[in-house]
Amino acid sequence: MLVTGGSRGIGEMIATGFVEAGARVYISSRKQKVCDEVAGRLSQAGKCVSLPADLGSEAGCKQLAAAYRAHEDGLDVLVNNAGANWGASFEDFPDSAWDKVLALNLKAILFLTRELAPELEKNASPDDPSRVINIGSIDGLHVPALDTYSYSSSKAAVHHLTRVLAKRLAASKVTVNAIAPGPFRSKMMAETLDNFGDMIVAQVPLSRIGEPEDMAGIAIYLASRAGSYLTGTVIPVDGGMSGCL
């Protein structure tokens, strides 16, 4: 399996869960040193390989796909997790924030999935389809409290692109689903949780921040036999924030 943005946050949680479950995991991130360090640490528990790449362009997606093909000729699970955020006021939100965030959060999902489609299709079958798991956000399901216009818009688009790709790839026996995380402690969320953690927890019906096992568990479920009949779904993992409020 391949996890983009796998060297930190949500991606690292998912990669860790799969490594500990016995999967052979490839992780990608823009910073080679960090990617190599995390892969080395995870390899103490199983098999994890570092494939650094910048997915902010179509060329970067092609480069990662080629690097993966140098190791494997098939792909069972692709986790499209790499992402970026940008916060700025309504009055000052810049054009560059749209270009950077949409390129990585949205366009990279299409480009990388398309590049790796032959590998995903190789071993897929009706009873055991290959899986694409896209990481969206509950900010794409409701209006966020913070001024993250390009981020929340991109995640809503990720959810719809998930449905579009699910229909497109169904005949190839590839499922495509999305996870919409709520608050988890990650590098992207760290400052927000440090500044507004109590307020955020107060908004979660289950009264806590998500744990790594919560994220790894839902990804493993989607990749397991139990999740083989799901496609085109968006699953919130948010302690009830999107469904109970």
Judge contact between 9 and 87, C-beta under 8 A: no
Residue 119, token pair as written in the block: 């590998």
Give, to the nearest 10 degrees, the angle between helix 108-115 and helix 149-169.
30
Residue 173, token pair as written in the block: 């026996």
Instruction: Tell me how far apart the alpha carbons of residues 7 and 132 are, in angstroms, rounded to a whole number.
Output: 19
Marked catalytic residue, from 26, 68, 151, 221: 151
Nearest CA to 120 out of 53, 56, 69, 178 is that of: 69
Judge contact between 133 and 79, C-beta under 8 A: yes
Bridge partners of 134? 80, 178
- Known catalytic membership, residue 151: yes
Residue 2, token pair as written in the block: 């391949």
Instruction: Tell me how far apart the alpha carbons of residues 161 and 39 are, in angstroms, rounded to a whole number.
Output: 29
Instruction: Tell me how far apart the alpha carbons of residues 164 and 41 are, in angstroms, rounded to a whole number.
Output: 36
At 118, the amino acid letter reads P
Tell me, what DSSP letter sits at residue 25? E
Q: If phi over 0 gives left and psi between -120 and 50 gives alpha, with beta otherwise, what is residue 208?
A: beta
Instruction: Tell me how far apart the alpha carbons of residues 51 and 53 are, in angstroms, rounded to a whole number.
Output: 6
Task: List, by residue number, the catalytic residues.
Answer: 151
